[in-house]
């Protein structure tokens, strides 16, 4: 790939990842901006509360698919490093969307699509963690543990390229867990950051999917 092609793929990966299908579908179906209602999060849970299961399912499929576009364009079999970076940028775009003034989700859905292309067992790990977390009612903690082990798991399977793909995808998800969409407003700041990292929620607030 030429330098121009690499840059084009990476930019497209970020911008496609930044498309907020949950918010778009909420607007189409109910005329609602998810940033203005309920928990004010652009998430699957917020969409479900506003519009129901079918719009949620459609948005989920599109969010998974958008994570795969950039890595596919990068031709992971020939350019694994570029594909790994594209995967991370797709997740970063979802987490910090320029179309939402920097707000966004947690990156789980696009990470599944991205990993399905660059290191498919990683997608199964994320899906399994989500299912187990739902079952145990501790999705935040279970996905945190899974993300910690994902890089080592992919490194064991694929070597350095697997570690790079896992790291590129996991990094923006862990950073978003800690930072959220806003900084803590009181003296509990340090405790809130730890709680966000481990459980993906502020201490006294509802979990943010």
Q: What is the pLDDT along the chain (209 residues), one digit of tens a residue?
A: 899 999 999 999 999 999 999 999 999 999 988 888 876 678 777 888 888 999 999 999 999 999 999 999 999 999 999 999 999 999 999 999 999 988 888 899 999 999 999 999 999 999 999 999 989 988 889 999 999 999 999 999 999 999 999 999 999 999 998 887 666 665 455 777 888 888 887 654 444 34
Rounded-to-integer distance, Cα 36 and Cα 100, Å: 12
pTM: 0.90
Decide: 22 and 42 in contact? Cβ < 8 Å. Answer: yes
Task: Look at residue 7 in the predicted model and tell me its pLDDT.
Answer: 97
Helix or strand or coil: residue 207? coil
By CB atoms closer than 10 A (0-12, 13-18, 19+), residue 37 is middle
| Domain residue ranges of the chain, discontinuous segments joined by + | 3-199
| Per-residue DSSP letter, 77 | T
By CB atoms closer than 10 A (0-12, 13-18, 19+), residue 185 is exposed
Rounded-to-integer distance, Cα 49 and Cα 85, Å: 34
Rounded-to-integer distance, Cα 58 and Cα 6, Å: 30
Rounded to the nearest 10 degrees, the angle between the axes of helix 21-30 and helix 53-73 is 140
């Amino acid at each position: 790939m030429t330098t121009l092609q690499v840059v084009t793929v990476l930019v497209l990966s970020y911008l496609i990842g930044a498309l907020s299908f949950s918010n778009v579908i909420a607007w189409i179906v109910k005329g609602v901006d998810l940033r203005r209602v309920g928990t004010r999060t652009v998430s699957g849970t917020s969409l479900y509360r506003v519009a129901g299961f079918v719009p949620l399912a459609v948005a989920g499929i599109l969010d998974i698919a958008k994570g795969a576009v950039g890595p596919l364009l990068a031709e992971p079999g020939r350019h694994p490093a570029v594909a790994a970076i594209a995967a991370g940028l797709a997740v970063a775009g979802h987490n910090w969307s320029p179309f939402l003034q920097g707000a966004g989700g947690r990156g789980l859905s696009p990470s599944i699509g991205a990993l399905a292309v660059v290191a498919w067992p990683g997608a199964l790990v994320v899906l399994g963690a989500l299912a187990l977390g739902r079952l145990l009612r501790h999705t935040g903690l279970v996905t945190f543990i899974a993300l910690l082990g994902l890089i080592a798991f992919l490194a064991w399977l694929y070597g350095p390229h697997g570690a790079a793909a896992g790291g590129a995808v996991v990094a923006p998800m862990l950073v978003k867990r800690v930072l959220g969409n806003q900084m803590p407003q009181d003296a509990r700041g340090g405790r809130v950051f730890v709680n966000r990292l481990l459980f993906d929620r502020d201490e006294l607030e509802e979990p943010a999917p």
